A and B are shown apart, each in its own frame.
Chain A
Amino acid sequence: SQTIHQWPATLVQPVGSPLSLECTVEGTSNPNLYWYRQAAGRGLQLLFYSVGIGQISSEVPQNLSASRPQDRQFILSSKKLLLSDSSFYLCAWSSPDSPSYEQYFGPGTRLTVT
C-alpha cells in the first residue's frame, strides 16, 4: 500500500531564516505531487504541483519554492521566511494511472514563524 510522509511535524522558525520541508511517498511510482497551505480555520490553498522529476508548476506567487529531486520526493523551501508564512503545510499525491486523480494527503507540518 501507499504511504506518504512529511517532516517535521511541527517547526518554529525566526523571521528571515530558511525553510526546508520534505515529503516522500512510498509504494507507488511516478506520482503527481502537490504542496498545499492551510491558514487557521480556512480551506486549503494549492501552492505547487509536479508531474515528474524536475517539473514544478506554481499556482500562486509567493516567498516559497518547490523542488522534486527524486521521483517520490517533494521539497518545499524558502530562503527567507516571513511572518505570513506561518501556516499548516500539506503534501499530497495522486496516481497518474487513476482516471479520477483523487489525492491522498500527508499528516502535515505546522510552521510557526516568530
Chain B
Amino acid sequence: DAKTTQPPSMDCAEGRAANLPCNHSTISGNEYVYWYRQIHSQGPQYIIHGLKNNETNEMASLIITEDRKSSTLILPHATLRDTAVYYCIVRAIYNFNKFYFGSGTKLNVKP
C-alpha cells in the first residue's frame, strides 16, 4: 500500500473550514483513499473515502487531485468537537483486510 504523509498538527478557528492535506505520491490506480479521525481515548471514526472522484457526505468533503497524488479533507464549519487526530490511509482494493494507520494530523479547533 502507498505511504501517506500528513502534517503533524494544524490549527483552525471555530466556524471556519478546516482543510487537512495528505500526500500519497506513490498511489496506484487500484488504491482507495480513506479518512478517519480519533477523538482522545475513543475508537477511530470513519469519515469518508474515495477512489478518483471528489466525495461529500454529511461529515466532510474529500478532494482528490487529478493525478491522485494528494488529497484534502475539508470540514466545512469546524466545531470544538472536531478537535481530534485525523488519519489519511491509502489501501489497495485487493488488500481488504489491512489498514495501516500512521501518526495522522492533530487538528486543534480553537474558539
Interface string of B70-82 (1 = CB under 8 A from A): 0000000000000
Is A43 an interface residue when CB atoms closer than 8 A count as contact? Answer: yes
Question: In the complex, are the beta carbons of B97 and A43 less than 8 A apart?
Answer: no
Q: How far is the CA of A44 from the CA of B34 in the complex (A)?
A: 15
Q: How many residues of A contact B (CB 8 A)?
A: 26
Chain B residues within an 8 Å CB radius of A88:
41
Interface size class of B (residues with CB under 8 A): 20 to 34
In this complex, what residue of B is CB-closest to A10? Answer: B41
Is A94 an interface residue when CB atoms closer than 8 A count as contact? Answer: yes
Question: In the complex, are the beta carbons of A104 and B101 less than 8 A apart?
Answer: no
Contact of A94 among B41, B44, B51, B96 (CB under 8 A): B96
* Given A99-B93, A100-B49: A46 and B42 interface contact (C-beta under 8 Å): no
**How close is B70's CB to chain A, nearest CB, in angstroms?**
20
Residues of chain A having any CB pair with chain B under 8 Å:
32, 34, 36, 42-44, 46, 49, 51, 57, 59, 88, 90, 92, 94, 99-108, 110
Residues of chain B having any CB pair with chain A under 8 Å:
32, 34, 41-46, 49, 51, 87, 91, 93, 96-104
